[in-house]
Chain A
Amino acid sequence: MIVAGIDIGAKFAKIVFLQDDEVLYRAKGIVGFDVNKSATSIFQTALKKCNLQPNDIARTVATGMGKGEILQKEPIKASQAVSEVVADATGAWHLRQTARTVIDVGAEEGRGIKVTEDGKVKDFVINERCAAGAGTFVETMARALEVTVEDMGPLSLKSTKAVPMNAQCTVFAESEVVSLIHSRVAKEDIARAIHDAMAGRIASMVLRVGVEKDIVLVGGVALNQGFVKPLQDELNTEIIIPEFPEFTGAFGSAVIAKEKSQ
């Protein structure tokens, strides 16, 4: 049996096909202006790559902020929508059954989730509707620094000096980065300051649900080593990052689809 999980985030839609317990396929694509259209094109390309027909998918579960756009709607017709918190917790726990704290940092939201021994959500806290608490912050700062988002991590790891950043707002931080550039602070030190500030906010958020090992970090920002290092330092413990962290929500949705079909 093949099931699908689709996570429609603020920037990217992620899709995972699960065959029995194995991931058959994963793909991601940019979410455009028409959410349903973007998701459909990613879905259909995925079907084609796997040589599948829409009827071969036994069940599709949706998550992410755009989940409503494909729930019961043609042509994907997801049969169920689950919250991002549940999808993240389920996905992370199935990847690592020792996970007790799941941190997800996406483009527009940050989440801290406390997970029970059997993978259920115990408590959670969400940072939303403010760009300073999510991946958009790093992305906007990268633009101000004139480097790509991908280069931000490696750049920041080269830093030799901690520079404080005062602004707590993405818009104000942009001006602060520009003035740091003007006062000839090295780019790598600015990149580090950006990640340090962001990690500090995410760590404080997670502390509200309590930090219990193992800690699993998921979401697109987990790929950024420049962010992971200060987060590790702030929480004073090791953080586990699964392979393909940005697909955790989609994977969790697929797991739920499988469980529901049984």
Chain B
Amino acid sequence: MSQETQFWKWPEYRYTEPDKDWRKAHIITAGIDIGSVGSKAAIMLDGELYAYSVMRTGGVSEATSVKAMEWALKDTGLKKEKIHYVVGTGYGRVNVPFASRTITEIACHARGAHYVYGPTVRTVLDVGGQDCKAIRCDEKGKVLSFLMNDKCAAGTGRGLEVFADLIGIPIQNLGEVSLQVEKDPPPVSNTCVVFAKAESLALLRQGWSKEKVAAAYHAAMADRIADLLARVGIEKEFVVTGGVSKNHGIIERLTRLLKIQPLEPNMDPILAGAIGAALFAKALQEKQLGLR
């Protein structure tokens, strides 16, 4: 292992829907979701997803938002100026210079989840790099109850990154590794990431395998997320979005705790916030045109 290895680093990616043509669209909108760790751009044609990009948020959010947008548009021939309405959301939403307005990420996530998973969705859990959101909504995607925890790193992607670095396993493999135990050990007792890290280190020194410590850490994180969900109330159907939704170690344990299986997405759930923002953009553009 070279000293340069950084286990928290995940790969960036983009996509264009090959069967869609922006030249035939009436309303072209974009949603830019600037998270603390990842920045997402979604381009929608008449309310349907056309192209997107997912990148790591750089030091300067303004520059990242421009880059994410340009990358999403790459090779489509579509220019930024042709987009009718852009909504910024997420932690860095005020740093999207070309956005027409900003909307809170809670509302965007609920709406985006409805697009990604369908109108039966009632509970949306979003675990991002620096926060954890629990949202309960109705059949129209209207928010009934929500909470957002962005004070504490426990129960966020950042908490997982700290742990990935501690045990030297790439973050995208962490969840699988945590499932390689026959039976879950008791969860790490400390919530605070700083204390949980020290506790995990002590467990490793006691001779626990990396897998077993990872299981204890993931179990504690799932417990904590379940507690937060209980506060807003859990109702079927239940979905998980955000970067941490890709961690099976968390999802499997959460399913066991809640006794509800989350819905499988038919597209990348990390995009929910950006898609929701683009859908708000469409509604706002229609309002501006006097169409609603």
Contact in complex: B59, A129 (CB < 8 Å):
no
Q: Are B202 and A170 in contact (CB under 8 A)?
A: no
Closest chain B residue to A139, Cβ basis? B194
- Contact string against B for A residues 166-184, beta-carbon threshold 8 Å, 1 for contact and 0 otherwise: 0011111001000100100
CB atoms of A170 and B130 under 8 A apart: no
Q: Which residues of A lie under 8 Å from residue B159 when comparing CB positions?
A: 171
With A33-B202, A179-B59, A182-B59 in contact, is A172–B192 under 8 Å at CB?
no
B205 proximal to A (CB < 8 A): yes
A129, B190: Cβ atoms closer than 8 Å? yes
7 pairs from A and B in contact (CB 8 Å cutoff): A33-B206, A108-B195, A169-B151, A170-B194, A171-B159, A172-B130, A175-B158
Check B153 for interface membership: any CB of A closer than 8 A. Answer: yes
Q: Is the CB of A129 within 8 A of B151?
A: no
C-alpha spacing A140/B195, complex, angstroms = 11
**Cα distance A172–B153 in the bound complex, in angstroms:** 7
Give B162's nearest chain A residue, CB to CB. Answer: A171
**Smallest CB separation, B223 vs chain A (Å):** 14
Check B191 for interface membership: any CB of A closer than 8 A: yes
Given contacts A169-B151, A169-B193, 4 further A-B contacts (CB under 8 A): A33-B202, A131-B192, A171-B158, A172-B153
Q: Which residues of the partner chain A approach B151 to less than 8 Å between Cβ atoms?
A: 168-169
Q: Does B152 contact A (CB under 8 A)?
A: yes
Q: Does the CB pair A131–B59 fall under 8 Å?
A: no
Q: Can you name the residue of chain A whose Cβ is closest to the Cβ of B161?
A: A171
A92 to chain B, nearest CB (A): 26
B195–A129 touching, CB < 8 Å? yes
Cβ-defined contact, B191 with A170, below 8 A = no
Task: Assess the B190–A170 pair: CB atoms within 8 A.
Answer: no
Q: Specify which of B152, B162, B205 is in contact with A130 (CB 8 Å cutoff).
A: B152
**Cβ of A78 to closest chain B Cβ, rounded Å:** 23
Q: How far is the CB of A140 from chain B (nearest CB, A)?
A: 6
Contacts A169-B153, A172-B130, A172-B153 known; A130 to B158 CB distance under 8 Å?
no
Q: Which residues of A contact B152 (CB under 8 A)?
A: 130, 168-169
Number of chain A residues whose Cβ lies closer than 8 Å to a Cβ of chain B: 15
Cα–Cα distance between A131 and B191 once the two chains are bound (Å) = 10
A172 vs B159: C-alpha distance when bound (angstroms): 10
Q: Contact residue range for chain B?
A: 10 to 19
Chain B residues in contact with chain A, CB under 8 A? 59, 130, 151-153, 158-159, 162, 190-195, 202, 205-206
When A and B form their complex, which 4 residue pairs have the shortest distance between CB atoms, in order from nearest? A171-B153, A131-B194, A171-B193, A170-B194
Contact A129 B192 (CB under 8 A): yes
A136 CB-CB contact with B under 8 Å = yes
Please give, as numbers and ranges, the residues of chain B lying within 8 Å of A171 by CB-CB distance: 153, 158-159, 162, 193-194
B269 to chain A, nearest CB (A): 24
Inter-chain CA distance A131–B198, complex, in Å, is: 11
In the bound assembly, the distance between CA atoms of A108 and B206 in angstroms comes to 22
Residues of B within 8 A of A170 (CB): 153, 192-194
Which of the residues A108, A129, A172, A182 comes within 8 Å of B158, measured between beta carbons?
A: A172
From 50 to 85 in chain A, residues with beta carbon under 8 angstroms from any chain B beta carbon are none
The minimal Cβ–Cβ distance linking B150 to chain A, given in whole angstroms, is 9
A179 neighbours in B (Cβ, 8 Å): 59
Give every chain A residue within 8 A of B194 (Cβ-Cβ): 131, 136, 140, 170-171
Minimum CB–CB distance for B213 against chain A, Å:
15
Q: Which residue of B lies closest to A182 (CB)?
A: B59
Q: Are A131 and B162 in contact (CB under 8 A)?
A: no
A142 to chain B, nearest CB (A): 13
Question: Which residues of chain B have C-beta atoms less than 8 A from A131's C-beta?
Answer: 192, 194-195
- Chain A residues contacting B130 (CB-CB under 8 Å) are 172
The distance in angstroms between the C-alpha atoms of A33 and B195, with both chains bound, is 14
Query: How close is B107's CB to chain A, nearest CB, in angstroms?
Result: 23
Q: For window 138-193 of chain A, which residues contact chain B by CB distance below 8 Å?
A: 140, 168-172, 175, 179, 182
A182 to B58, CA, bound (A): 13
In whole angstroms, what is the CA distance A130 to B190 when docked? 9
Contacts of B193 in A (CB 8 A): 169-171
Bound-state CA distance A98–B51 (Å) is 70
CA–CA, A108 and B158, complex, Å: 21
- Identity of the chain B residue whose Cβ is nearest the Cβ of A183 in the assembled complex: B59
A125 to B59, CA, bound (A): 39
> A172 vs B91: C-alpha distance in the bound complex, in angstroms?
14
